[in-house]
Structure 1
């Protein structure tokens, strides 16, 4: 998927995700308003619950998965190391629970600044990588030459650190594994590892600052990579 098509799909899937998460509230209100549910006592309540509690979460899930797939396809197209798919999936999984919790809520009078502040750092790590991939990186003939290797290693290391923070703060992961796969021993092992890692990364008390710090460093590494790419393409390197 070349850059232009990637940008188109990125914007489309992002818009669908935001519309599903925020705008569907108004769509549900219109559907309830134009329906004849008022003729049957309690029908409007049932219809609204079905739209907000069933349809909306499904739309959020489908559009979110589509957004992640677009990023993964772009990574494969650029022939990046397949290991880059691991942090993408880890970050998406880390924020999925947060968005699923927000999905059934009414967003008509929501404070989006406050919601943005409550988003896990993994949200912004995913966003930084998605925006980085929007640049036409495929027109760089020799990305391994010059200063790309150290910058790429730095970006990869910071992505690894962001992934560790996502795992350390995923308190619901052990329970999810236990419920989904009935692997209770594995669930307990993961819970123990997560607690040790959370203590080591200074996030055991729920402090998000270390996570935001490594996310900022990751974004800066990607920005350096873009600047070097632009200089290489323009013939300055």
Structure 2
């Protein structure tokens, strides 16, 4: 998937999410008012159940699916799927609770409540998704391959972001145990998460190290977009000499 199509699908997914979050409740209210079912007790429940209990969750999960699949297809087109695919999947899983939280009642949410529920994995995902919108395939160099130190920095910070997403996601143990039908796995994850949190925060209990790593990740992404000197191409005589040796 090239950059223009990826951007189109990402905007489509964001548009579906914004529609379900901000507009669908008003459409439901308008539908109830126009239908006149409020005059009789209990007659509005089927419409409310359909629009708020079925249509709204369907739109939200469709938007998340569109964003996720578009990102994976973009990574596949750039030949980055094997390393970055699992990282992006973890970021998406860790970011799903905040998306559902925003979709619950966007009009009543406060800035402090939103920031308190915002996982650092969502910020990693947003920065990486924005990076993929650039036409990376148009240059002579491969994406995320500007230099070995820069590539190593990107991978290490991305792994840290994935581990942070897994460590600070309270629902991870329940989701993993339910999907895999392994209650013991839920117990293991619940016991391991506090130790992983301690390691990732360097024993401080603060999210400052995570935000510092996020800043390094964003800086490395920005640096990889800068023009770099291309590797010198072998001369024609060198190529001919190699063929004669064979």
SS of the equivalent of 1:82 reads helix
CA distance in structure 1 between the partners assigned to 2:43 and 2:217 by the alignment: 50
After TM superposition, give the deviation of residue 91 of structure 1 in Å. 0.9
| CA 1:64–1:228: 2 relative to 1, 3 Å | same
Match of 2:200 in 1: 201
* CA displacement, residues 42-69 of structure 1 (integer Å, 9 cap, x when unaligned): 3335533542233212211111111111
Match of 1:184 in 2: 183
After TM superposition, give the deviation of residue 205 of structure 1 in Å. 8.9
After TM superposition, give the deviation of residue 183 of structure 1 in Å. 0.5
CA distance in structure 1 between the partners assigned to 2:45 and 2:54 by the alignment: 13
Q: Per chain length, whose mean CA-contact separation is higher, i.e. which structure has more relative contact order (CA < 8 Å, sep 6+)?
A: 1
| CA 1:206–1:184: 2 relative to 1, 3 Å | farther
In structure 1, list runs of 5 or more residues that go unmatched.
Answer: 233-237
Name which of structure 1's ranges 165-174 and 212-221 shifts more when overlaid on structure 2: 212-221
CA distance in structure 2 between the partners assigned to 1:158 and 1:102 by the alignment: 27
After TM superposition, give the deviation of residue 158 of structure 1 in Å. 0.7
Query: Normalization by structure 1: what TM-score?
Result: 0.85
Match of 1:235 in 2: none
CA distance in structure 2 between the partners assigned to 1:146 and 1:63 by the alignment: 31
CA distance in structure 2 between the partners assigned to 1:94 and 1:144 by the alignment: 25
Query: Normalization by structure 2: what TM-score?
Result: 0.82
Superposition CA RMSD, Å: 2.7
Match of 1:218 in 2: 217
| CA 1:176–1:150: 2 relative to 1, 3 Å | same
After TM superposition, give the deviation of residue 207 of structure 1 in Å. 4.1
| CA 1:30–1:146: 2 relative to 1, 3 Å | closer
SS of the equivalent of 1:103 reads helix
Q: Is the 8 A contact 1:9 1:70 kept in 2?
A: yes
Equivalent pairs, count: 230
SS of the equivalent of 1:170 reads coil
Q: Is the 8 A contact 1:122 1:162 kept in 2?
A: yes
CA distance in structure 1 between the partners assigned to 2:202 and 2:36 by the alignment: 51
| CA 1:102–1:6: 2 relative to 1, 3 Å | closer
Alignment of 1:24-173 (within 5 A): 24-44=24-44, 47-105=47-105, 107-111=106-110, 114-116=113-115, 118-143=117-142, 147-173=146-172
